[in-house]
Amino acid sequence: MGGQGERACSGCNGFGRKHVTQHTPFGSISQTMNCNDCEGSGKQVSTKCNSCNGHGVQDKEEIVDINIPRGVVNGMTLNLQGHGNYAKGGIAGDLHVHIEELPHDKFKREGSDLHIEEWISIADAVLGGQKEIETFYGPQQIAILPGTESGKTVKVHGKGLPTIGSNGQTIGVGNLVVKFNIQIPKNLNIEETKIFESLRNLN
């Protein structure tokens, strides 16, 4: 309301809009616009509120807790009803929160799948073995098959990110894709050098 003693606006006779005519060198221009005395409400108050100066609203900061669903993607907008701006004599609008993803230092996201690169030794690449990696679901053992080449990928189902449907509900979970890179040893000692020389001679 903006104060006490509500009455019809004297500037527009309570209509909220008024007819304005401007005289220019090219002739008269007439238009109907919102009344600037009552801000289009058609009403005024005799005693203005000290807090809002008769505007009916005032600036105020508010801290809002936001529930971020699992699996949100970059560019998604969350809508918080009733946390937007108020209009004089009306209700609060909505607050729209735009999601921007920060890159992870280890995992790369592609849709609902997560991609990660892991280094393995030459021995594990040749003979096979196990590799434990940290995921968002806890430690995960990954099998390394004998004869694994550098760049080979292994897919672990259900260890990616949740997929959100159009209704905002989780409709599935993506995969974790592990890419193996073979680590080449450097600065070999005498014994290690002999081992690799013997392997080369076998070929």
SS3 123: helix
Distance (Å, whole) CA 164 – CA 142: 27
The torsion region of residue 59 among left (phi > 0), alpha (psi -120 to 50) and beta comes to beta
Q: Kindly state the helix (H) or strand (E) to which residue 144 belongs, with its residue range.
A: strand 138-144
Cβ neighbour number for residue 46 with a 10 Å cutoff: 9
| pLDDT tens for each residue of 152-191 | 999 999 999 998 887 778 889 999 999 999 999 888 899 9
SS3 122: helix
Distance (Å, whole) CA 115 – CA 20: 64
90: its two tokens: 């009306």
Domains recognised in the chain with CATH numbers: 1-58 (2.10.230), 69-102 (no CATH), 108-202 (2.60.260.20)
- pTM for the predicted model, two decimal places: 0.64
| pLDDT tens for each residue of 107-151 | 999 999 999 999 999 999 999 999 999 998 999 999 999 999 999
8 versus 114: which is more confidently predicted? 114
Average pLDDT over residues 85-94: 72
- Checking if the pLDDT of 23 tops 90, the result is no
**Do 3 and 48 contact (CB within 8 A), yes or no?**
yes
CA Rg, the chain, in Å?
Answer: 34
- pLDDT computed for residue 67 by the predictor: 84
First CA to last CA distance, the chain: 91
**99 alpha-carbon distance from chain centroid:** 2
**Do 10 and 35 contact (CB within 8 A), yes or no?**
no
Average pLDDT over residues 95-106: 90
**Closest-CA residue to 16 (of 36, 45, 46):** 36
